[in-house]
Structure formats: C-alpha cells, structure tokens
C-alpha cells in the first residue's frame, strides 16, 4: 500500500466501523506486530539513504496519525458501549422486580382451556387416580372381554380390579352417577399407561375430558364447542375436521383432527405425511353409559370429548422430549431484568 | 377417552376396482372417503403388484368392525358410498359325499361355528408370483401354495382357517379346552405351555393347533402333503382374547377371532378356499362338509328406529329418504311402512344393536362435514358443581407464581425408599403390581421427593436459585383402604448462609392468608412426626384446631450446595378450615384512624409474627387496621442480657379516639411483657 493512501483508507474504514470486534481487527491490521505500519518500517530499512531521508519523516508522521485516529475511535467506541450499558442499567432499574414464578406448561394449557369452559358455564371436576375397573372401563361400555381393552396397558394397584386410571373418562362415569343432570363438566387430569417412557411416550400423560348431559344436544353443538376450544388455543385461522371414529363410550363417535400447524396440510414428519393431526376423541355419550349411571337415555342426551394435552404442550413450547414435562429438566427462563438491583 | 393400540388392514386399489366394477374414484378420493367414515387412512403407498403399478392403502380399522378386517369388508363399505354393486369371487359347488370328516367338538360352548372338509391328492407346488406378492404386500410371509391360499382366503373374507396334513393326524380331530397335554410346539417351533382354559385342536395323541391362534408343528402342511383337512371356525371371542393374552400369542388369526365375527360368513370362506385349492393344487373332495352351527336358527333381532333420530343427534336436517337410501346401500333390511321403522342389519354387522348405532351409520354416510362447526352452541345454563378444593387450587397458584415460585409436575411413581425418607404421616405406602420401571414402584406419599429430584436436576445444570412448588395427589393405604389426598408442596433452596426458616414460613403464611386462611398455628415436631430428611431442630407441624394440615421443615444438608426449606400442606384439610372471608373484605371507614405503639419485652429472637398474632387475637377484627413492627431494641442493662424490646404500632379504625385508646391500653394488662409505648 502506498504510504500516502494509508491514512485516508484507515479513516474511511474506521468511519464505517461500529463494532468493537471489527475495530480490534483494524487496529491489528494497521499497528499490530505485522501491521501495515510495521511493514513500511521494515521496507524503509532496505531503502537507499536518499530515499530514507524523504520517506523516514513521512513514515514517522503517518505512524503518529494512525495511532491518533485509532485512539480516537477507541474512545468513541468505549463511550458508546458505556452509554449503552448505562441505558440498559437505567432500564433494568426501572423494570426490575422480585422474581416472578411460572406455571407449568401443562397447567398453563389446562388453565387456558378451563377459562373458556368456565365462560361457557362448565364446572370443573376431579376424581381419584386409583380407580376401579368398574368406573374406568365397565361404566364406559368396555366390559371385561371387550377387544378394545388391553390388560397389558394398565398399571395395577391390585389386579384385576384396582388400577391407576387409564383415562379421565373415569371421572365422567363417577360424576354421571353422583350428580343429577343437567350438567356441563370438564375434568382435566393425569392418566397412566403401562408403557416404557421414551422421547415421545410416557407412562403418565394428561387428558382433558369434558361432557354435557342435557335434554337435547347434538353433534353440531359438540363440533361448535370443539371449534371454540381450538380457536382459543390456536387462533382463528385454525382448521379442524371431524370424522367418524370408534370409542366404546360414545355413539356416534368423532375424531377431531387439526390441520398440521407445521406443514399447513401438505404433509410432513409431524403429521406423518397426512396433513392432519389427531387431537383426541369425542362423540355422543352412549345410551348404555347413561343408563348404567342411572340416567334415563330417553330423557337425556350428552356429548363427551377427551383430548391428550401433552402433545399440544410439546408443540406449543417446542419441547421435543415428553419426559421433560414430568420432573425432568423443564427449565423456566427468568425474566430478563430479574434481580438486577 | 381410552387410548388403544390401533389395528390396521391393507387393501389394494386394484382389488377395489376388481370387486366394484363401476368404481371410478381416484386413490385420493378413496382415502378421503375411508378416513371420514371411520376407517382412517394410515398410509397410502405406490407399489408394484402383478406387473402393474398399484396403490396400497393401510387403514386403521375400528375395534368393533370385525367385518372390516378383510378386503371384501372394505369393499362393501366403499361400494355403499359410491352406490355401486360389488362382485365377490364365485365359488364352485361342493359335491356331496357320503362320509364326514372325523371331528369331535368336546367343548361345544366355545365353538360358535365350525366348518370343515377333507380334500385328497393335492399337489403342493410353488405359489404363483401374484399370490406370493399378494400375501407379502398384506404383511404375511409366503410359505407354500397351501399356506398362501389359506392366508389369501383370510385376507379376502376375514375368516381365519387352518389346513391339517391328514397323513400326520392320528385318529379323530377334537376341539377342546382343558387339554390333557402340558405343552405344544407351534409353527415356528415355539413351545407353548397349555393351561386349563386353552382351546386346542388335538388328535388321539397330541395337540395339533391352538384354535383361534396358531397351528402346531406336528400336522403342518408342507411340499409333500397330499391329503388335507380344511377347517374354518368361529369361537367365543372372549376365550380367544384371553388365550391370546395368557399365552402371549397375537396372530392375524387371533386378532380377527377376538372380535365379534359373524358365524354366518364361515361357509363362504370355506367354499372359497376349497375352490382355490382345487384350482391351484388339484385334488378331489373326499368328505361331506362338516358344519356345526348351533346358532343358525337364532333370529337377528329387529331394531325399532325412528327415522328422525339421525337429525335429532346430528343437529342438521336429514330426510327420511336419505336415511332409507343409505341403510339400503349398507344392506340393512328396512321396513319403513310405519314409524318406528323396523330394521334388521346384515348378519356381518355385529356392531349394530341399538337405534343410535343405526343413526351413526346414517350420519357418517351423510357426512360429518355436512354438520356446521362454526357456531358456538347456546347450551342451557346449569348449576355449578365445581368443588371448593378446585377453586382453592385455582386461587393458590397465581399467589405462588407472584411470590416467585415455579410450578413443577413430577411423577407420582417413586422409589419405596423415597417414600420412607419423605413421608410424615402414619400410613402405609402403596406399591403397584406391574410398574413400568422396576425401580419406581411406589406411589408417592409426599410431594417432597419430586421437589427434591428437581433440585438435584437443577443443581446439575448449574441453576441454584430454586423456588418451586407442585400441587398433586399423594397416595397411601390403611389396611385395605386406598387414600388419595391433594397436596401442595413448596420448596425453597438456600445456600448455607442464606435465610432462616422464619422467612420461608412468612411466604407460606402469606400464601395462606391470601387464600383467606388465617387461623393456622405451628407447633414444634416430635420425633416420629418428622420426615427422615428433615432437620430435627427445624421441623414444625402446621396445625389448625388441633388437626395437622401440613408440615414445614429444613432438610438435612442433602446437597453440597445447601439445603432446602420444604412445606407440604394437605389441601383437602385446608378446605375444612373456615376460610375467613373478612380477611379479604373491604371495610367501610367511619372514623379517623388512630395509631398507638406498644412495647413488648421478650427473649431475643422471638418470632415477631407470633407476637403480632398474640396482639391480633386480643383485638376485635372490625376495629383493627394494621399491626406493624416499628422497632427492635436489644436491652443491655446488664441484668437481663437476653431480652429485646419489640415496638409494634397498632392502627385502629372505626373507633372514636378515646375508645381506641381504651382498647389499646387494655393490651398492656393482657400481653405478657407489654408496656406502654410512646404516642406517635
Ligand atoms: Zn405436517
């Protein structure tokens, strides 16, 4: 580089530099141990005496100028960062507060759903996790030898009659028996399944059950309720379809699917290439389920639905390992300005 | 809703076109049709079959549709939708014969139908290419011509069958439960231990097959087989299911026979297989058809059906004509001359027994997509039955969150040792019989184990600011009674130099007060009342009216980084506590507030909250505005070196100044160590 252009090019480059990293690189390039100034000094040594006399002082001046502009820039950058830090400190003082805790993502999702159903006049009920075969299966139209039953899937406290509930419908069978219709009820809860835990399956998961028993309700009411729920959880653009599906406790049965949030229906790994994601089960409460609970199916009708919550939560919070949700490494990021006083 | 393991049935596009000659639907339309009417598409793949490009659908079959675990069943469903006749494979008539196969059904009650026939002089060649490809596309290995034809017939009709090599059978074939034999070698050379409830097919010497599950090794057919017996049977589905589970044998056969399969279709399956064998393997029929069918004469019950039921359930208009058309396409016999209609479903629809089942048929063929879903229903207003406990939990959570606690959920299954360490009640632990993980077999008696696991996890990740809570069920038993309680567990992790339990209690107390619970006491624990992990000198029982509702303690130093404060409260007990609504109520102010101080001399490090509570109990709730500690002075007069003077300022409301003063002065006489404070 010509000695006369060194300073101008440096100034130009410094003017466009705003980051400390870039500045440090430039400084090294110009006044580092193998920098441009050093190179000129080395070249000077090999020049004839006459030229040394002309270029020597020029180089001296250049060196001083280069160091000066670099120092100026350094100061400017330094005060900028300082200023920024002060700004951020004053913000953090304004915003700082004691630590605020967090809801567990599962509870948070349940609360959001509850909110909607409370607005629609539903009661929230719960029931025992240790259940009897009667309430968990038989009262839901799954007699002992029903093919949908898989004994291997159940965790027993005392086989064959006392078990950990495999579905929140067990709460439904208890509420149906204990309370008189009309009723509108939701019952979120934890259920168990005898399955080895891995990234995508756990022996503990969470269901959101709901049911109504009224003199007259219809599939249209069920679909409308579902749509309201999906819109509350996923926004107005959500697309849901309803297809026929079998569950012993309902007749007719319904499988609600949501258009895949990942591929918007074109097919991807999340939806196993079908464009839709199964969201659970629903249907009109089977007349046998009502009559077993002492409710006259000639006078009352009902609909019921059950959703798995864990997968919704995983999708929403970008959690890839279901075990994270239960006593695993679920981490709660603190608020940004936490504890900064 | 019950989550069950799905079961699938595969079907080729070319089969659909073959058996429904008028079919013009594309694979996309077919997939959509099946999915929407109850047989969800699992996958659709392009395959090569019989030198043509074909499409193979895999459908998830409803558990109650025994008739759909076969090609012809799926064909019937689609044909009803496109309203096109089907053409099923024809069978040649079986010639009459004098002799019957040598069969004895020992335990008749488990056999709903059994058909069998003998064919002699067959030749077992290689299977033709199309047959090999066919069974393999449907997920079954090609074995030899006879076995492949047997499986082909099962795939087509849904009826499992079995072929015996009669030259390997000794004497008669007997269908029986309670075999005399201890074990049997199945196809694939596995030894199965028989028990008293297994349905077997045996000859005079040995068990030859597990009926409804799998054939045996002894009388299996192979390339040298010449004389065969073919049987097609339908058994008690419950017995088939119990056998399959107790023997851990789940086969294409058992999966079909544990459903409620229609015995009427058995004969066609037998005739189809016979026709195929004669055609592909040669041979001559050498027996009459054995046909045991005790339920043959049973009438299929007529179902009364109000044609308005479908629209009553769906909530959209569905005409009687539409209903009638759909039911007829589904081969239901409908007598629509009067209301209610009298309907007889086809025998293979064993899933149809009540009017609602019929309504579902109508609605699913009308199409669920015809029912609008964008209207929020205006359902009747009903009584709210939400239990108090649920409301309390809903109130507690946000208070904990605002106090800085993160919510966790932990597994209720823990190790028995963790129960021993954390339990503070005098009840027994519950051990589940078939735990998923042999380490975590106990249902938690306390939430502390889960909270502590989270601490260990967090410390491993370098996170040491830990304030967490969990609201969840704990389990115990007393004798044969199983108990569940809803608990709140709270944990604050502290380094050795941080905090005191008093500060932690303050959090807990404030939480309870926010929720309207005021009359809570702490009493020091005695041995036997403490969890093992608690520090002996820092453990109190949380009491209400002599009843323990929880425990609060500092843990022993379990982590090198510090200890944890844990509080655990039984929410069921909490709701028995009278929730003090006044505590949160607004008050009408009628008089100017007046404030006076009181000094109380007590030992150093007295609990100031207890002191404040002592004052509070002496004052009428309606007159008290606040009590606050304004000064703490260590008395150093040499005589009583360990005493401290605590100064509280008490503000009175709705009292004339004189009355407030009188009330205040009364405190000097009733509170030990009290003396007059300065007037502000
Ligand atoms: Zn997708």
pLDDT at A94: 35
Q: Are A191 and A165 in contact (CB under 8 A)?
A: yes
- Distance of alpha carbon B321 from alpha carbon B342, whole angstroms: 15
pLDDT at A337: 43
pLDDT at A90: 42
Task: List the single residue in A with minimal CA-CA distance to B451.
Answer: A327
pLDDT at B16: 97
- Percent of chain B residues topping a pLDDT of 70: 97
Q: State the nearest Cα–Cα gap between B512 and chain A, in angstroms.
A: 17
As a whole number, mean pLDDT of residues A142-168 equals 87
Domains and their CATH numbers in chain B: 7-82 (3.30.56.10), 103-292 (3.50.40.10), 303-370 (3.30.56.10), 388-574 (3.30.930.10), 594-676 (3.30.70.380)
Q: Do B461 and A145 count as a contact with CB atoms less than 8 A apart? A: no
What ipTM does the predicted assembly reach? 0.84
Residues in chain A closer than 8 A to B476 (CB atoms)? none
Select from B313, B400, B475 the Cβ nearest to the Cβ of A219.
Answer: B313
Q: Are B103 and B116 in contact (CB under 8 A)?
A: yes
- Distance of alpha carbon B63 from alpha carbon A281, whole angstroms: 14
Calculate how far, in angstroms, residue B439's C-alpha sits from the geometric centre of ligand 1.
38
Q: Are A171 and A190 in contact (CB under 8 A)?
A: no
Residues in chain B closer than 8 A to A204 (CB atoms)? 411-413
Calculate how far, in angstroms, residue B196's C-alpha sits from the geometric centre of ligand 1.
50
pLDDT at A152: 67
Select from B5, B403, B436 the Cβ nearest to the Cβ of A101.
Answer: B403
pLDDT at A44: 82
Top pLDDT among B393 and B276 is at: B276
Calculate how far, in angstroms, residue A284's C-alpha sits from the geometric centre of ligand 1.
29
Calculate how far, in angstroms, residue A277's C-alpha sits from the geometric centre of ligand 1.
8
Cβ-defined contacts of B90-94 (< 8 Å, 24+):
B90/B275, B91/B268, B91/B271, B91/B272, B91/B274, B91/B275, B92/B271, B92/B274, B92/B275, B92/B278, B94/B271, B94/B274, B94/B285, B94/B289
pLDDT at B184: 94
pLDDT at B680: 47
Task: List the single residue in A with minimal CA-CA distance to B36.
Answer: A243
The yes-or-no verdict on residue B664 having pLDDT over 80 is yes
**Chains A, B: CB contacts under 8 A, how many?**
272
Q: How confident is the model over B300-331, as pLDDT tens digits?
A: 889 999 999 999 999 999 999 999 999 999 99
End-to-end CA distance of chain B: 67
Q: Do B314 and A220 count as a contact with CB atoms less than 8 A apart? A: yes
To which H or E segment does residue B430 belong? Answer: strand B430-431
Maximum average pLDDT range among A232-241, A285-294, B450-459, B480-489:
A285-294
- DSSP code per residue over B225-277: ---EEEEEEEE-HHHHHHHHHHTT---HHHHHHTS---GGGHHHHHHHHHHHH
- Distance of alpha carbon A73 from alpha carbon A79, whole angstroms: 10
pLDDT at B678: 62
Q: Do A246 and B64 count as a contact with CB atoms less than 8 A apart? A: yes
Q: State the nearest Cα–Cα gap between A212 and chain B, in angstroms.
A: 9
As a whole number, mean pLDDT of residues B100-112 equals 95
Indicate the pairing of strand B40-49 with strand B200-202: unpaired
Give me the residue label for tokens 């074909």: B54
pLDDT band at A322 (very low <50, low <70, confident <90, very high): confident
End-to-end CA distance of chain A: 52
Select from B376, B407, B473 the Cβ nearest to the Cβ of A101.
Answer: B407
Q: How confident is the model over B366-391, as pLDDT tens digits?
A: 999 999 999 889 899 999 999 988 98
Residues in chain A closer than 8 A to B313 (CB atoms)? 218-219, 252, 284, 301
- Distance of alpha carbon A94 from alpha carbon B177, whole angstroms: 82
Q: How confident is the model over B514-558, as pLDDT tens digits?
A: 777 777 788 888 888 899 999 888 888 998 877 888 999 999 888
Q: Are B243 and B136 in contact (CB under 8 A)?
A: no
User: Domain-by-domain residue ranges, chain A?
Assistant: 6-89, 105-336
Q: Do B1 and A209 count as a contact with CB atoms less than 8 A apart? A: yes
Top pLDDT among B464 and B226 is at: B226
Residues 6+ apart with CB under 8 A from B19: B71, B72, B75, B79, B86, B87, B88
Q: How confident is the model over A14-63, as pLDDT tens digits?
A: 888 777 778 888 888 888 888 888 888 888 888 888 888 888 888 888 88
Q: Are B533 and B422 in contact (CB under 8 A)?
A: yes
pLDDT at A89: 45
Q: How confident is the model over B262-286, as pLDDT tens digits?
A: 999 999 999 999 999 999 999 999 9
Q: Do A101 and B400 count as a contact with CB atoms less than 8 A apart? A: yes
Q: Do A129 and B473 count as a contact with CB atoms less than 8 A apart? A: yes
pLDDT at A52: 82
Least confident of A176-185, A190-199, A319-328: A319-328
pLDDT at B288: 94
- Distance of alpha carbon B85 from alpha carbon A248, whole angstroms: 31
Instruction: For residue A305, give Cα distances in angstroms to A153, A190, A229, A282, B263.
Output: 21, 15, 12, 4, 34
Strand order in the sheet with B333-335: B303-305, B341-344, B333-335
pLDDT band at A224 (very low <50, low <70, confident <90, very high): very high
Secondary structure (3-state) at B498: coil
The yes-or-no verdict on residue A315 having pLDDT over 80 is no
Calculate how far, in angstroms, residue A257's C-alpha sits from the geometric centre of ligand 1.
12
Q: Do B411 and A327 count as a contact with CB atoms less than 8 A apart? A: yes
pLDDT at B535: 87
pLDDT band at B454 (very low <50, low <70, confident <90, very high): very high
pLDDT band at A95 (very low <50, low <70, confident <90, very high): very low
Select from A99, A129, A167 the Cβ nearest to the Cβ of B1.
Answer: A167
Secondary structure (3-state) at B387: coil
Task: List the single residue in A with minimal CA-CA distance to B460.
Answer: A329
pLDDT at B605: 76
Calculate how far, in angstroms, residue B82's C-alpha sits from the geometric centre of ligand 1.
29
Select from B245, B315, B409 the Cβ nearest to the Cβ of A219.
Answer: B315
pLDDT band at A184 (very low <50, low <70, confident <90, very high): very high
The yes-or-no verdict on residue B586 having pLDDT over 80 is no
Q: Phi and psi (nearest 5°) for B237?
A: -60, -35
Calculate how far, in angstroms, residue B30's C-alpha sits from the geometric centre of ligand 1.
21
Q: How confident is the model over B35-93, as pLDDT tens digits?
A: 999 999 999 999 999 999 999 999 999 888 999 999 999 999 999 999 999 999 999 88
Q: Do B482 and A196 count as a contact with CB atoms less than 8 A apart? A: no
- Distance of alpha carbon A263 from alpha carbon A246, whole angstroms: 27
pLDDT band at B351 (very low <50, low <70, confident <90, very high): very high
Can you read off the two tokens belonging to residue B49?
């079959």
Superfamily of domain A105-336: Bira Bifunctional Protein; Domain 2 (3.30.930.10)
Can you read off the two tokens belonging to residue B154?
């099962």
Calculate how far, in angstroms, residue B38's C-alpha sits from the geometric centre of ligand 1.
21
Considering chain B, what is the average pLDDT of its residues? Answer: 90
Residues 6+ apart with CB under 8 A from B283: B119, B120, B121, B122, B123, B228, B277
pLDDT at B100: 93
Q: How confident is the model over B178-206, as pLDDT tens digits?
A: 788 999 999 888 899 998 899 999 999 99
Among B602, B605, B597, B609, residue whose Cα is nearest residue B668: B597
pLDDT at A252: 97
Select from A156, A241, A286 the Cβ nearest to the Cβ of B433.
Answer: A156
Calculate how far, in angstroms, residue A123's C-alpha sits from the geometric centre of ligand 1.
35
């Amino acid at each position: 580089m010509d000695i006369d252009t060194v300073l101008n090019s440096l100034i130009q480059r410094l003017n466009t530099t705003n980051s400390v990293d870039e500045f440090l690189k430039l400084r090294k390039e110009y006044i580092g141990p193998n920098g441009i100034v050093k190179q000129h000094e080395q070249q000077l040594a090999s020049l004839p005496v006459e030229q040394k006399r002309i270029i020597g002082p020029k180089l001296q001046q250049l060196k001083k100028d280069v160091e000066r502009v670099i120092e100026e820039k350094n100061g400017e950058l330094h005060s900028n960062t300082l200023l920024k830090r002060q700004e951020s400190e004053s913000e953090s003082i304004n915003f700082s507060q004691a630590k605020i805790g967090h809801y567990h993502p599962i509870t948070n999702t349940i609360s959001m759903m509850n909110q909607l159903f409370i607005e629609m006049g539903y009661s929230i009920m719960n029931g025992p996790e240790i259940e009897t075969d009667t309430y968990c299966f038989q009262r839901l139209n799954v007699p002992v030898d029903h093919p949908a039953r898989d004994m291997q899937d159940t965790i027993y406290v005392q086989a064959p009659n006392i078990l950990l509930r495999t579905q929140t419908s067990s709460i439904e069978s208890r509420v149906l028996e204990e309370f008189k219709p009309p009723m509108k009820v939701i019952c979120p809860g934890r259920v168990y399944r005898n399955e080895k835990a891995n990234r995508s399956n756990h022996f503990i998961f969470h269901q959101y059950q709901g049911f109504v028993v009224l003199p007259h309700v219809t599939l249209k009411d069920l679909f409308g309720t579902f749509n309201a729920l999906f819109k509350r959880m996923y926004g107005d653009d959500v697309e849901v379809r309803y297809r026929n599906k079998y569950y012993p406790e309902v007749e007719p049965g319904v499988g609600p699917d949501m258009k895949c949030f990942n591929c918007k229906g074109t097919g991807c790994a999340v939806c196993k290439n079908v464009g839709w994601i199964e969201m659970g089960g629903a249907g009109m409460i089977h007349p046998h389920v009502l009559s077993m609970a002492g409710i006259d199916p000639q006078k009352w009708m009902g609909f019921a639905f059950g959703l798995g919550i864990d997968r919704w939560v995983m999708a929403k919070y970008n959690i890839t390992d279901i075990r994270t949700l239960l006593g695993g490494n679920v981490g709660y990021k603190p608020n940004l300005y936490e504890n900064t006083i | 809703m019950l989550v069950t393991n799905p079961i699938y049935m595969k079907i080729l596009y070319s089969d659909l076109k073959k058996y429904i000659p008028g079919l013009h639907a594309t694979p996309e339309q077919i997939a959509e049709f099946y999915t929407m009417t109850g047989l969800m598409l699992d996958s659709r793949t392009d395959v090569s079959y019989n030198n043509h490009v074909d499409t193979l659908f895999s459908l998830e079959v409803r558990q109650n549709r025994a008739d759909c675990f076969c090609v012809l069943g799926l064909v019937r469903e689609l044909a009803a939708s496109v309203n096109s006749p089907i053409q099923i494979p024809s069978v040649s008539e079986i010639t009459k014969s004098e002799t019957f196969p040598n069969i004895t059904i020992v335990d008749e009650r488990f056999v709903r139908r059994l058909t069998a026939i003998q064919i002699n002089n067959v030749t077992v060649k290689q299977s033709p290419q199309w047959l090999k490809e066919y069974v393999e596309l449907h997920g079954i290995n090609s074995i030899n011509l006879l076995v492949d034809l047997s499986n082909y017939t099962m795939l087509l009709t849904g009826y499992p069958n079995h072929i015996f090599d009669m030259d390997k059978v000794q004497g008669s074939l007997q269908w029986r439960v309670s075999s005399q034999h201890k074990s049997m070698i199945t196809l694939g050379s596995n030894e199965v231990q028989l028990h008293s409830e297994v349905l077997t097919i045996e000859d005079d010497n040995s068990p030859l097959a597990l009926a409804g599950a799998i054939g045996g090794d002894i009388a299996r057919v192979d390339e040298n087989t010449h004389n065969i017996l073919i049987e097609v049977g339908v058994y008690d589905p419950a017995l088939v299911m119990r056998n399959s589970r107790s023997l851990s044998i789940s086969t294409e056969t058992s999966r079909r026979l544990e459903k409620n399969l229609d015995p009427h279709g058995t004969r066609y399956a037998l005739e189809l297989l016979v026709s195929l064998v004669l055609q592909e393997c040669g041979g001559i029929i050498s027996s009459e058809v054995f046909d045991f069918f005790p339920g043959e004469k049973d009438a299929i019950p007529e179902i009364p059906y109000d044609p308005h039921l479908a629209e009553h359930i769906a909530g959209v208009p569905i005409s009687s004509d539409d209903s009638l058309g759909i039911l007829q396409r589904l081969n239901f016999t409908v007598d629509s001359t009067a209301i209610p209609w009298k309907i007889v479903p086809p025998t293979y629809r064993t899933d149809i027994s009540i009017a609602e089942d019929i309504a579902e048929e109508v609605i699913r063929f009308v199409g669920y997509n015809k029912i609008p879903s964008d209207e929020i229903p205006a359902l009747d207003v009903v009584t709210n039955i939400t239990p108090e406990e649920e409301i309390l939990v809903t109130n507690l959570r946000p208070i904990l969150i605002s106090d800085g606690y993160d919510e966790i959920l932990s597994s209720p299954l823990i190790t028995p040792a963790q129960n021993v360490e954390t339990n503070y009640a005098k009840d027994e632990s519950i051990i589940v019989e078939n735990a998923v993980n042999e380490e975590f077999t106990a249902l938690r008696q306390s939430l502390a184990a889960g909270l502590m696991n989270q601490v260990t996890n967090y410390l491993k990740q370098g996170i040491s600011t830990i304030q967490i809570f969990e609201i969840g069920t704990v389990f115990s038993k007393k004798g044969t009674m199983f108990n569940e309680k809803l608990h709140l567990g709270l944990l604050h992790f502290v380094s050795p130099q941080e905090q005191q339990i008093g500060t932690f209690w303050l959090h807990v107390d404030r939480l309870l007060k926010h929720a309207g619970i005021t009359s809570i006491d702490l009493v020091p624990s005695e041995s036997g009342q403490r969890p093992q992990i608690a520090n002996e000198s820092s453990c109190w029982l949380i009491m209400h009216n002599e009843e323990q509702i929880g425990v609060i303690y500092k843990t022993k130093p379990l982590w090198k980084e510090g200890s944890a404060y844990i509080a655990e409260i039984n929410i069921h007990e909490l709701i028995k506590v009278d929730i003090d609504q006044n505590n949160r109520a607004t008050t009408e102010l009628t008089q100017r507030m007046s404030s006076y101080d009181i000094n109380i001399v007590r030992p150093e490090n007295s609990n100031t909250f207890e002191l404040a509570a002592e004052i509070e109990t002496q004052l009428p709730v309606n007159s008290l505005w606040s009590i606050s500690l304004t000064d703490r002075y260590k008395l150093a007069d040499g005589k009583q070196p360990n005493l401290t003077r605590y100064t509280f300022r008490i503000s009175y409301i709705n009292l004339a100044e004189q009355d407030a003063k009188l009330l205040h002065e009364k405190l000097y006489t009733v509170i030990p160590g009290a003396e007059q404070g300065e007037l502000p």
